[in-house]
Amino acid sequence: MIRRKPASDVTLAVDAMGGDNGPETVAAGAAVAVARGLKAKLMFVGDRAVLEPAIARHDALAHADIRHADSVVSMTDKPMHILRRGQDTSMWRSIAAAAEGDADAVVSCGNTGALMAVGLAQLKKIKGVDRPAATALWPTNRGRTVVLDVGANVEADANQLVQFAIMGEAFFRSLMNVEKPTVGLLNVGAEDLKGHELIRTAAGILREADPAMAFKGFVEGNDISAGVVDVVVTDGFTGNVALKSAEGAARLVGGWVRETLTGTLNAKLGALLMAPGLRKLKDRIDPSSVNGGVLLGLNGLVVKSHGGSDARGVASAIQMAADLARAPFHDEVAQTVAAVMARSSDLAESRDNNTDIPIAAQ
């Protein structure tokens, strides 16, 4: 099983200025995480004059550290602008803390594009990984499924899909403490002949070059919520469309439920009787309960919380970062990617050599 470092040995750098709701919500979310049992040390990064009173309102944060940063990355800032002039921002200095070894993970509600760019600039990529990928935790009938990529890359070739699969497997193993997660490639059908050549090539590489992976082949869109596999792999364009469609459907159904339960006096009385069950349902489908997407492929741990997260959402992202930091998986990803790519190359070379032999001699 995975060896985990003590929770109290983990330090999290929290970009307290990013996001739509400001440092008050970030501080409140951190306090919620501590109340739920968070043991990690917290380092808040941002304007000290703003952060000190926000943190002082929560007794649970009495021992938190503060690192000053003069400015903030806005949601409209271009990544290249931040790379050129953003070294004094809370986002940059949060990631710098991880790059310098002062923090084990970073949590930010800030600008996703800037976060990816700053993460790449300071942490670099895991050796052998072509592109980082963004993850989403999907509620399913079986618990949670990890989907990647959900927006970091509009396109991905076969080798990159293979790398996403390896990263997603290691991520799920670390987060859920599952020794052998199951993995599937998102496709238009489960049959081997379905889909374009690129995805069929990726499936072939995973089957032949990574026999240790519990690769289950192709899965369809409806299989995600069914929890057919633990990790669903796709390109960022498809993954982002699927994620936004699911979020929209959840909001639509949630609105219908509220409308139905408040439409008449009898409905309101029925809702009162069903209150415990409704609260449980709300907790299961509440995005705040699964908030936090990891930017996989960076040589460090960066957790992106939704920009509009409330305190509970921030708490979920902080707890996810703390859990993952206890069992870092970057070395495992680098070793597995190198081994799988080497085996894939050897297998391709072997096939090419065999095709050069005259048919009569084969």
Per-residue pLDDT for 357 more than 80? no
User: What local confidence, expressed as pLDDT, does residue 281 receive?
Assistant: 66
Instruction: Tell me if 1-124+298-326 shares its fold with 127-234+272-293+329-362.
Output: yes
Nearest to 10 by CA among 39, 44, 45: 39
The proportion of the chain whose per-residue pLDDT surpasses 90, expressed as a percent, equals 51
Give the residue-averaged pLDDT of 267-293.
70
Distances (CA, A) of 213 to 170, 183, 216, 325, 341: 10, 8, 9, 23, 14
Per-residue pLDDT for 107 more than 50? yes
- Does domain 1-124+298-326 fall under CATH 2.40.30.10? My reply is no
Long-range contacts formed by 217-220: CB under 8 A, 24+ apart: 217/184, 217/185, 217/190, 217/192, 218/184, 218/185, 218/186, 218/187, 218/189, 218/190, 218/191, 218/192, 218/194, 219/184, 219/185, 219/186, 219/187, 219/190, 220/186, 220/187, 220/188, 220/189, 220/190
Per-residue pLDDT for 362 more than 50? no
Give the residue-averaged pLDDT of 268-288.
69
User: What local confidence, expressed as pLDDT, does residue 288 receive?
Assistant: 52
Per-residue confidence at 290, pLDDT binned at 50, 70, 90? low
Q: Which pTM was predicted?
A: 0.84
Whole-number average pLDDT of the chain: 87
Ranges of each domain in the chain = 1-124+298-326, 127-234+272-293+329-362
User: What local confidence, expressed as pLDDT, does residue 361 receive?
Assistant: 41
Give the architecture (CATH level 2) of 127-234+272-293+329-362: 3-Layer(aba) Sandwich (3.40)
Per-residue confidence at 343, pLDDT binned at 50, 70, 90? confident
Give the residue-averaged pLDDT of 136-153.
87
User: What local confidence, expressed as pLDDT, does residue 251 receive?
Assistant: 77
User: What local confidence, expressed as pLDDT, does residue 259 receive?
Assistant: 81
**196-253: pLDDT as tens digits:** 899 999 999 999 888 889 999 999 999 998 999 999 999 999 998 988 888 788 778 8
Higher pLDDT, 127 or 229: 229
User: What local confidence, expressed as pLDDT, does residue 341 receive?
Assistant: 84
**21-79: pLDDT as tens digits:** 889 999 999 999 999 999 999 999 999 999 999 999 999 999 999 999 999 999 888 99
Give the residue-averaged pLDDT of 297-319.
91
